[in-house]
Amino acid sequence: MAPLGIGIGIGSSFFSPPSGGGGLDPDAEAFLTAAGIVDPTLVSAVNTLTVELKDQGLWAKMKAIYPFVGGTATTHKFNLKNPADTNAAYRLVFLGGVTHSAFGIQGNAINGYANTWFNVGTELSSGVGGLGFYSRTNIQGGREMGINVTNGSRSLIVIPRYIDDVFYANEGSASWLTSPNFDGRGLYTVTRTGLGASNGASYKNGVRVQTSSFSFLSFDSANAYILVANGFAQYSGKQCAFAYIENQGLSDADNFNLYNIVQTFQTTLGRQV
């Protein structure tokens, strides 16, 4: 899926070799060590992902990054930003039926999900931040990531393709962001950059598709989940190859750059859509 519309140049850094004369970025190395990953392709992909996020100013805006590499529950649980095996580091705990493979994680649409331990109401009390979900599956249904305690408001959630062929998102305002969508694959993100009526937006593959018309209300106090939204038990059957949570709000340029970085990462691993 090629990004459309936004005229933001992609610098050569998207295809540059790792920094440091071929050595590993220390944050990438810490993650790879924690996950026990030694495969050269995975090592190179994670290192490049980390370097590019830093080069584009995105690393500092992230609280949790889940690359889903290694093909097992053990390797998939770690947060690239802080690969400690603790709740406080936002490492994932998988519950119910979740399938792990080289392509990422996949829910069973019955009871499978991952708890990030990231409390949205507490961690994003300023009303600034967002999250994203890279889907490899073009099916309807499910609420793929976030919190959805108060349905339609005070949620932080992305639903790439619901049962009515609509991309839904919410960023703590009084109404859903909605856009027709017949292909549920790709990188789906939602963010809020401020408290005003036009500061919330949803994106598909780095392109803004909806802008909020409502000011920020609040976020419910609940941990963000992946493969279901905490508070509304409609479990996903989609396959997820990347997910993240951020706490500074991503601009149009940030979203465009993030998509290109993530898509390059997925292409290196042969799992791009």
- Over 70: is that where the pLDDT of 244 sits? yes
| pLDDT tens digits along 175-207 | 999 999 999 999 999 999 999 999 999 999 999
- For residue 22, name the pLDDT band (cuts at 50, 70, 90): low
Mean pLDDT of the chain: 93
Q: Tokens 């649409």 map to which residue?
A: 109
More confident call, 196 vs 22: 196
Mean pLDDT on 239-252 = 98
Distance of alpha carbon 39 from alpha carbon 203, whole angstroms: 32
- Over 50: is that where the pLDDT of 42 sits? yes
Distance of alpha carbon 53 from alpha carbon 266, whole angstroms: 14
Mean pLDDT on 37-42 = 98
Mean pLDDT on 48-67 = 98
- For residue 152, name the pLDDT band (cuts at 50, 70, 90): confident
Q: Which of the following CATH numbers is that of domain 63-268: 3.40.50.720, 2.60.120.200, 3.40.50.1480, 2.50.20.10?
A: 2.60.120.200
- For residue 52, name the pLDDT band (cuts at 50, 70, 90): very high
Cα separations (Å) of 203 from 57, 190, 213? Answer: 19, 6, 15
Distance of alpha carbon 245 from alpha carbon 253, whole angstroms: 17
User: Exposed e or buried b for every residue in 188-216, given b needs 16+ CB within 10 A?
Assistant: bbbbbbeeeeebbbbbbbbebbbebebbb
Return the bridge partners of 66, or none.
243
